[in-house]
Amino acid sequence: MKSVGIIVNPAAGKDLRRLVAYGTNSTHSEKINAVVRMLRALDALGVTRLRIAPDPGKLGERAIETAAEGLQTLDAGILEMPWLLGSRGDTERAAALMREQDFGCIVVLGGDGTSRAVAAHCGEIPLIPVSTGTNNAFPRMLEGTLAGMAAACIVRAARPGEAQHRAPMLRLLADGEEVSHALVDIAVIDTLDQGALAVWEGHSVRELFLAQARPDSIGLSAIGGCLAPLEADCGEGLHLELGEAEQPGCIHVTAPMAPGLVVRVAVARHGRFRQRTPVRTTRGVFAFDGERELAIDDGRQWEVLFDPQGPWVVDVQQALNLGRARGLFRGEPQAPAH
């Protein structure tokens, strides 16, 4: 049986957007309790090995200590790896190590940025992204018990590719070479000052490339979701060029940019794209999944590539149905044919 991994971002849900919006504060205690519920669910369904990535708040250790007395067969421990200060690099190294050790499933507690870091290094391991961040267009709100049960169903009852789907992603190209990527959105911000990493002001966005656009999301992708939603598995991305409020011909869209922060933005043009589409803006900063990272070099040709073959993501409802159908909840699991 393959191992289950858990990666917790202790900083998720604590960025600057808390000062301008009304999002919930995902405390360390809440994250620890969620992991405890996952451990108990994994143990109840017969998973034998779990490893949690280390973090500076020692959330994994505290969750294991809390749950230890009630665990029967689950070997729960901390992933052995060198780490620094709980940076994104630590998250990436943890995901890469879980890939090298052939884990069967990774549960990710964080926001869009945490999922992005894991997805870049987890290879073919399916993810269960659990929302503990601010905007969370990629991870979804999911009770910890159900996340643990779904992970157990994947490693104990599912065949490769079952109860999973490929999430699309966006790849930023400079002169044809990939320089970065995003799971949800790549935005071009009209400023040369990276300042605070988080992006929440629609008026500063000049271009927006979306891998998904749903009206039930919060963040930059909600602009597309409230204007021209993308159907799941449609094989296309959405490109928007934003304008000024008084600019003639613009469509004015009201969208939730952060929890409790609903704003109107002007969209000058929008349309779907397949494969590559050029970046028209020549000055500013690229933001990936809501965080500013990279200044535009106007001497290079910038493009965004829509890639439908992103990370594997577990369909929790399908996974639970699969576990039920194969006897996992009755204590008589039928071994999947791998």
* pLDDT(221) > 70: yes
Least confident of 68-72, 84-88, 193-197, 246-250: 193-197
Does the residue 68 lie in any domain? yes
Structural domain includes residue 336: no
Region 290-314: mean pLDDT is 93
Same domain, yes or no: 303 and 316: no
175: Cβ–Cβ under 8 A, 6 or more apart, which residues? Answer: 300, 301
Integer angstrom CA distances of residue 209 from 143, 151, 181, 312, 331: 30, 31, 11, 21, 46
Q: Is residue 337 part of a domain?
A: no
Pick the range with the lowest mean pLDDT from 33-47, 166-180, 203-217, 304-318. 203-217
Q: Is residue 182 domain-shared with residue 297, that is, in the same domain?
A: yes
CATH, residue 114: 3.40.50
| Distance of alpha carbon 75 from alpha carbon 69, whole angstroms | 12
Instruction: Name the DSSP class of 197.
Output: S
pTM of the model: 0.90
Strands ordered across the beta sheet of 312-314: 75-78, 49-52, 4-8, 105-110, 127-131, 312-314, 164-166
CA-nearest of 231, 37, 20, 219 to 111 is 219
Domain that holds residue 219: 169-307
181 with 209, same domain: the answer is yes
Q: Are residues 72 and 182 in the same domain?
A: no
Q: For all residues of the chain together, what is the average pLDDT?
A: 89
Name the token pair of 252: 């004015």
**243 shares a domain with 193:** yes
Residue 301 lies in a domain: yes
- CATH number for 303: 2.60.200
Asked whether residue 32 falls in the same domain as residue 53, the answer is yes
Q: Is residue 338 part of a domain?
A: no
Specify the pLDDT at position 27.
87
Counting the structural domains of the chain, the total is 2
Residues 195 and 254 in one domain: yes
Shared domain for 64 and 94, answered yes or no, is yes
Amino acid 335: pLDDT? 57
110 and 140 belong to one structural domain: yes
**Are 190 and 262 in a shared domain?**
yes
User: Do 222 and 316 share a domain, yes or no?
Assistant: no
Residue 17's pLDDT is 47
